[in-house]
Amino acid sequence: MTEQNGLDALATESRRFEPPTEVAKSANVTADAYDDAWADRLGFWETQARRLQWDKEWHTALEWEPPFAKWFVGGQLNVAANCVDRHVEAGKGDRVALYWEGEPEGDRRVITYAQLHAEVCKAANALTELGVDAGNRVMIYLPMIPEAVIAMLACARIGAPHSVVFGGFSAQALVDRITDAEARFVITSDGGYRRGAAAALKPAVDEAVERSGIVEKVLVVRRTGQDVAWTDRDVWWHDVVGRQSDVHHPQSFDAEHPLFLLYTSGTTGKPKGILHTSGGYLTQAAWTHWAVFDLKPETDVYWCTADIGWVTGHSYVTYGPLANGATQVMYEGTPDAGGKDRWWSIVERYKVSLLYTAPTAIRTFMKWGEELPAKHDMSSLRILGSVGEPINPEAWIWYRRVIGGDRCPIVDTWWQTETGAMMIAPLPGVTSCKPGSAMGPLPGIEVDVVNGEGESVGEVGGGYLTLNEPWPSMLRGIWGDEERYRETYWSKFPGRYFAGDGAKWDEEHVLWLLGRVDDVMNVSGHRISTTEVESALVSHPSVAEAAVVGAYDATTGQAIVAFVTPKGHVADDVSSGEAFAQELRNHVAKEIGPIAKPRQILITPELPKTRSGKIMRRLLRDVAEHRELGDVTTLADPSVVNAINEKMGTAGDGTED
Ligand code: PRX
C-alpha cells in the first residue's frame, strides 16, 4: 500500500469545504438521492435508467447469480441513438456536441449534434459495407480526433463491440489485443500530432495486422497527411465513409448486448479484456456524469482531458456526456504544445465550466507555476474533477485555489475500468469535502472496507476496499476467461468484489483511497502491471531475470523501477553502462509502449529471494523508495540486498526520458 506521500496523515485532515450556495441551490441531485437509494436501491437505478430512451422496457431490474449480473433484463435500446439521435429529435440538433482542438495552433472543428448524427450514420453504413456485423469486434487505434468518437458510436450503433487501444501502445500490444479479441477489423489513422510533430500510427497497425493474420479490413483516417504503406486490406475513411448515406436506422439491442472490450493490466503479464454491456453501463455513465458534474447541458461546457484509449475517455468523453446532450471540448495534443498554458487558453476560449483531469497533470502544472493559468480568464469554471489516482491534499488545494479561483468544488472520483463508471465521489451540491478524499460511495453503491479475513472494519478503520452489491455499469466478465474473472475479483473475499485498492474510513466515516495493494502500478493514472514489464524485460536476449516495483514519485504518483540480472554472456562493462539500461528501456517501450518505460533500471548480479526462490518484491520496493529495510531474515543471501542498496545510491535515475 502506498503510504509514502503522507497518506497516513490524511486521516487527520480536518479542513472542510462546503458546497458553494450557488451550486447547492440549483444542484441536479440533492441529499435525498442517498435516502432514495438506501430505501430502494434497484428502484433508484431503474429511475436513472429511465433517463435513457428505451425501445422496449425491461421486465427485471437485476438478475444476480454471483458473480454474474444482468441489468434491465428484457430491455432494448440503441446506445448510439441515445447519445445522438434523441437529442436531434428533441430539437437540439444545433447544439454543439464537440469543440475539437487539434494540437497545431488554429486547427479546430465545431461539430453540432445534427452533424455528429450524420457522421455516425455514415460511419455505421460504411462499417456495414465493409462486412462488420453485430457481434464482430472492431479495434480502434486513433488519436484524439472526432473520428475516434464517431467510430465508437458507429460500432455501438450496429452492435459491434469496439476495443479501443491507446495510441501510445506498441505494435506488440496491438497484436495481443487483436488476437485475444479475434478482431477482424481495425480503425486507425495515418498518424496524429504529438509534441509539435506528426507521430505515425499506421506502421504499428501494419505490423500488428501482418503478425496477427486475422484482420480483413483496416479503415484509415487521414489526419496528418504523412506517407503510409498501403495494402489491399486498407481503405481510406474519407473514401468509404465519405460516400455513404447519412441515413441509418438504428437497430434495438438487448440491454446486455456487449458494447465494448477494454484491455487493462492485471497482476499477470497478460492484459485482460474487460467486458461492458449496454443498458446498465450507459445508465450509470450518464447518471454519474450528470450528478457528479451537476451538468446543465444548455449552458455548461465540459472538458475531460482523458484519452479515449482509457476507460475515462469511454465513459466521460464518449458515452456519459453525449447521452446527456452535453457540449464538450476535445483536445488532441499534449498540455505543453504551443506553450505550457495551452490548457488554460482552451478553458478561456471555450468558456469551459466543468473540467475533469488527473492528479498527475495537476502536479505537473504546480511545477510549471501559477503565473501560467493566471494569464487567462478562467472565471467560467464551475466544478473541477479528479480521477485516476489518489490526489494529495496539497495538489487538491492548489487545484481549487489556482485553477478554481477558490470557488469551484472539487469532485475526486474513484472508479476503475472494471466498474465502468464513478463509484465513490462527492456530490458537488451536497457534500462538504475534505481535501484529498473521494468522500464516500455515490447513491446506489455499497462499499465496505474489510480486513484480511474479509470482516468489515466497521465505521472507522483501514483495510481492503470491496463492493458488496452489484451495480449497473459493472464489468460482465473478462473476455474469454470466466475463471480469471472469478479468481481476480471474487475469490479473495467470497461474495464481494475486491477492487485491488486499500482504503480507510477516518474518524468521521470519510473514505480515503490508499492506492493498489496488488502488483498493479499506477503511473500517471495509467495502470501497468509489474509482471507485464518483467515479461517485457526478460524477453530481451541479454536479460536473465527481472523484478519490477512501483516506487513513489512526486509527479507521476508511482514510477517504474526495474532490477535486472543480465545473462552470463553479457560483459560486465556492457551491462553496467547507461547504454545498456537505455537499450532495455527502449525494449520495454517496443514491447508495451513508452508509458511502460522504467524510470530507473538497476543492474544487479542477483535478485533477493526467499529460500523457496520467490523474489522479495517488498524488499525491492523498500530499496527503490530508499526506506529502512524490512525483515530480511527469510532471505537466502542477505548480502544481495546490501549490494543492490549500494548500487541504488550511486545510480542515475534515468528521468531524462
Ligand atoms: O487504484 C485505483 C486508481 O486507479 C485504479 C483504476 O485504474 P483504471 O482502471 O485504469 O481506471 C482509472 C480511471 C477510472 C483504481 O483501482 N484510482 C482511480 N481513481 C482514483 C484512484 N485512486 C484514488 N483516487 C481516485 N479518485
pLDDT in tens, 42-69: 999 999 999 999 999 999 999 999 999 9
Q: What does the mean pLDDT of the chain come to?
A: 93
The Å distance, Cα 124 to ligand 1 centre, comes to 32
Strands 138-141 and 526-529: unpaired
Query: Is the predicted pLDDT of residue 109 greater than 70, yes or no?
Result: yes
The Å distance, Cα 387 to ligand 1 centre, comes to 7
pLDDT in tens, 478-518: 999 999 999 999 999 999 999 999 999 999 999 999 988 98
Rounded-to-integer distance, Cα 526 and Cα 543, Å: 26
DSSP classification of residue 79: H
Which residue range(s) make up the domain with 626? 540-650
Q: What average pLDDT does this structure show over 114-122?
A: 98
Residue 123 covered by a domain = no
- Which of 563, 556, 558 has its CA nearest to residue 534? 563
Rounded-to-integer distance, Cα 274 and Cα 418, Å: 6
464, 493 contact by CB (below 8 A): yes
Residue whose Cα lies nearest atom 21 of ligand 1: it is 389
Q: Kindly tell me the burial class for residue 47, based on how many C-beta atoms sit within 10 Å of its own C-beta (0-12, 13-18, 19 or more).
A: middle
Q: Distance between terminal CA atoms of the chain?
A: 27
Residue whose Cα lies nearest atom 5 of ligand 1: it is 416
DSSP H or E run through 275 = strand 272-277
The Å distance, Cα 358 to ligand 1 centre, comes to 10
pLDDT band at 13 (very low <50, low <70, confident <90, very high): confident
CATH number of residue 567's parent domain: 3.30.300.30
pLDDT in tens, 371-412: 999 999 999 999 999 999 999 999 999 999 999 999 999 999
Residue 6 covered by a domain = no
The pick from 422, 527, 558, 595 for probing ligand 1's pocket by mutation, whose C-beta has the most ligand atoms within 8 angstroms, reads 527
The Å distance, Cα 416 to ligand 1 centre, comes to 5
Rounded-to-integer distance, Cα 220 and Cα 242, Å: 12
Residue 379 covered by a domain = no
Query: Is the predicted pLDDT of residue 7 greater than 80, yes or no?
Result: no
The Å distance, Cα 525 to ligand 1 centre, comes to 7
- Which residue intervals of 444-577 are DSSP H helices? 482-485, 530-538, 572-575
**Phi, psi values for residue 50, rounded to 5°:** -70, -5
Residue 609 covered by a domain = yes
Which of 88-97, 226-235, 389-398, 627-636 is predicted least confidently? 627-636
105, 338 contact by CB (below 8 A): yes
pLDDT in tens, 600-628: 999 988 888 888 778 888 889 888 888 77
Residue 556 covered by a domain = yes
The pick from 166, 304, 414, 466 for probing ligand 1's pocket by mutation, whose C-beta has the most ligand atoms within 8 angstroms, reads 414
221, 240 contact by CB (below 8 A): no
Q: Which residues line ligand 1 (CB under 6 A)?
A: 264, 311-312, 387-390, 412-417, 438, 499-501, 513, 515-516, 522, 527
Q: What average pLDDT does this structure show over 515-536?
A: 90
Number of domains present in the structure of the chain: 1
Q: What is the pLDDT of residue 573?
A: 73
Residue 125 covered by a domain = no
Residue 639 covered by a domain = yes
Residue 566 covered by a domain = yes
Q: What average pLDDT does this structure show over 304-312?
A: 97
- Could you give the angle at the alpha carbon of 324 between the alpha carbons of 323 and 325, nearest 5°? 95
Rounded-to-integer distance, Cα 472 and Cα 454, Å: 24
DSSP H or E run through 43 = helix 41-49
The pick from 274, 308, 387, 411 for probing ligand 1's pocket by mutation, whose C-beta has the most ligand atoms within 8 angstroms, reads 387
